[in-house]
Chain A
Amino acid sequence: MTTTLSTETPAEAASAPSRVRRRVGDRLLFAYTWLIIAWLCLPIAVMILFGFNDTKGRYNTTFQGLTLKWYGRLFEIPALTDALVNSLIIAVLNTLIAGTLGTLVGLALGRYRFRGDGTTNLIMFATISSPELVMGASLLSLFVASGVGLGLPTILIAHVMFSISFVAVVVRSRVLTLDRYIEEAARDLGAGPWSTFRLVTFPMIFPAVLSGGLLAFVLSIDDFVITNFTAGTTQTFPLWIYGATRVGLPPQVNVMGTLIFAGGLLIAAGNVIASRRRPSSAR
């Protein structure tokens, strides 16, 4: 695409000034794009840097030299550690439950035309585009009306609810690109429905299931708004940070944020490598 665009059209070759202007424009655009990227990354850099801050007092506000001590004293605040553990438990369970349910929905929508598929698509679109605030508020209304106590189970219910649609969308788009004859061939060769699924369909959609599951994990561990409404007194990592903002954040928060950031990068890199290798070995 770039090469076709940069070849000179007759109109352009005729006028040298326009070419110069275009080159200047390109430079400006390039600089501008990097400026925006720098802006997007600035708070992350600050977060990482202040995790290495050798702060003396209670407040982690001025930079006082590099240290690794906060990495060693990562789990020194029990409430924060508990909150992080809660977040991880919910994220893992959410990945498993929403991953499974979302995959099934994605399979159904990608493979079959049936009565109610339009409604399902509409509801999924609604869960993706509704304000989180309204979804959290409505769940709380339901829990209040039915007298359910709030805690880890209600948070998990909420997270699975908003993750299913994302997983389903990812899986459905993969299923739509699959060659159906491969499954028919398996059936012709005597494979039953279950073996066809296990040996043929599932390996083919696995990359999508994996990305869907990762998406569910990330959405869950980062969620604040819906969790805020459905948690009661239970703390998760984002809720604890939010509550601690007024009194000042301990450096451990920066360290945990940095580690989650690094973990996310590693998983994303692994996913890219896996999805690059898979198509060549699967076909």
Chain B
Amino acid sequence: MSRRLAPYLLILPGGLWLLLFFVVPMVAMLSLSLQQGDVVSGYQLTWHWQTYVDGISNYQTQIVRSLMYGLVTTVIQIVLAFPVAYWIAFRGGRSKSVYLFLILLPFFVSFVLRTISWKFILTDESFLLAPLKDIGVLPADFHILGTAVAVIGGLTYNFLPFMILPIYVALERIDPRVVEAARDLYASPTQTFRKVIFPLALPGVFAGVLMTFVPASSDYINSEILGSSSTTMIGQVIQAQYLRSQNYPTASALSFALMAILLIGIFTYARALGTEDVLKVAAR
């Protein structure tokens, strides 16, 4: 076996699998979105771009809502995650790995089960809300399930570790001498944070945004379990179009449009921050 052939032989089975079941399906989906017909009589490729126009205009509300939920979730997560990552990276000491383990604990329970557990905690007569209502902290007709707050709360909960970890990794890499230098040069703690620590943590924030914004805005489990008809997200529409209505062209067009919007969003964001290198690093 020649050494020049070795990498190709090693990569062949896995590469073929990814080609057949990742690249080809994407092409199949793109093609299906431009076809017309129905399940019974079959589909024909007619380059029917109108499906995109109709799909996007019919479900404009859900698309915008999903992006808004994704955006709000991501911003809340940055605010929630930063202090935790900061504490673990700079004050974690020997218990760093214990803290990280605790942060990752939710991943040992199924995503669906965790979300259902939240539904259970947040129902109107739950063990948490009922006593609060009895003692009058909350009004008797207070409810949270079915609202945007519950859905965004669920999304924030489910993806938070994906924001904490990358920020932690970025903070952990900061050379302590740089921070000391800032203090020696009479920077106040606030200035040190704003001018030294935060800029150095930005690649971590970027990676966190990438890992949370995309899954959060395309999620349909949280809204399905914790939301109501007024919180319907585009993921639910796509899922229903595929699996219930079997309206394949519209469903494919919507999911392709969703991916395109998310990709454009991510690249604009990368360009605005000047962190295109981060993408290359992440891809490595």
Q: Is B272 an interface residue (CB 8 A)?
A: no
Report yes or no: B14 in contact with A257, Cβ–Cβ below 8 A: no
Q: Check: A238 CB closer than 8 A to any chain B CB.
A: yes
Which one of A131, A142, A218, A222 lies within 8 Å of B24 (CB-CB)?
A142
A161 & B118 in contact (Cβ 8 Å cutoff): no
CB–CB A132/B93 < 8 A: no
Do the beta carbons of B80 and A104 come within 8 Å of each other?
Answer: no
In the assembled complex, which residues on chain A have CB atoms less than 8 Å from the CB atom of B29? 134, 137-138, 141-142
Q: Does B218 contact A (CB under 8 A)?
A: yes
Interface residues of B in 99-137 (CB under 8 A from A): 99, 101-103, 105-114, 116-121, 123, 125-127
**27 contacting pairs across A/B (C-beta < 8 A):** A4-B176, A29-B87, A29-B91, A30-B91, A33-B88, A39-B157, A40-B157, A43-B114, A44-B105, A104-B11, A108-B8, A112-B10, A116-B8, A129-B282, A130-B259, A131-B258, A133-B238, A133-B239, A133-B258, A137-B242, A139-B21, A142-B25, A142-B28, A144-B32, A145-B43, A229-B239, A238-B112
Q: Which of A30, A50, A145, A218 has the most CB of B within 10 A?
A: A145
Contacting pair B83 A33 (CB below 8 A): yes
Q: Is B199 among interface residues, defined by CB-CB distance under 8 A?
A: no
User: Would B176 and A5 count as touching, CB distance under 8 A?
Assistant: yes
Q: Is A273 an interface residue (CB 8 A)?
A: no
Least CB distance from B42 to A in Å reads 10
B151 CB-CB contact with A under 8 Å: no
Tell me the smallest distance from the CB of A65 to a CB of chain B, in Å: 14
User: Could you list which residues of chain A lie within 8 angstroms of chain B, going by C-beta atoms?
Assistant: 1-2, 4-5, 9-12, 18, 21-22, 25-26, 29-30, 32-33, 36-37, 39-44, 46-47, 50, 61-63, 100-102, 104-105, 107-109, 111-112, 114, 116-117, 120-127, 129-135, 137-142, 144-145, 157-158, 160-161, 164-165, 168, 193, 218, 221-222, 224-225, 228-229, 237-238, 241-242, 245, 249, 253, 257, 260-261, 264-265, 268
Q: In the complex, A229→B244 CA distance in Å?
A: 11
Q: For A164, give the chain B residue with the smallest CB separation.
A: B14
B218 adjacent to A161 (CB under 8 Å):
no
**Alpha-carbon separation in the docked complex, A132 to B258 (Å):** 12
Most interface-central of B1, B24, B112 (chain A CB within 10 A) = B112
Q: Does the CB pair B117–A43 fall under 8 Å?
A: yes
The reply to whether B282 and A125 contact each other, CB–CB distance below 8 Å, is yes
Inter-chain contacts of B256 with A (CB < 8 A): 134
B195 CB, min distance to chain A CBs, angstroms: 15
By a CB distance below 8 angstroms, the chain B residues around A260 are: 108-110
Neighbouring B residues of A101 by C-beta, 8 Å = 13-14, 17
Query: Contacts of B90 on A, CB cut-off 8 Å?
Result: 1-2, 5
B160 touches A (CB below 8 Å): yes
Q: Known A-B contacts: A126-B22, A137-B255. Give 11 more (CB < 8 A).
A: A33-B99, A40-B102, A108-B11, A127-B22, A131-B215, A133-B218, A133-B235, A161-B21, A168-B14, A218-B107, A245-B119
Contact partner, A141, options B28, B120, B184, Cβ 8 Å: B28
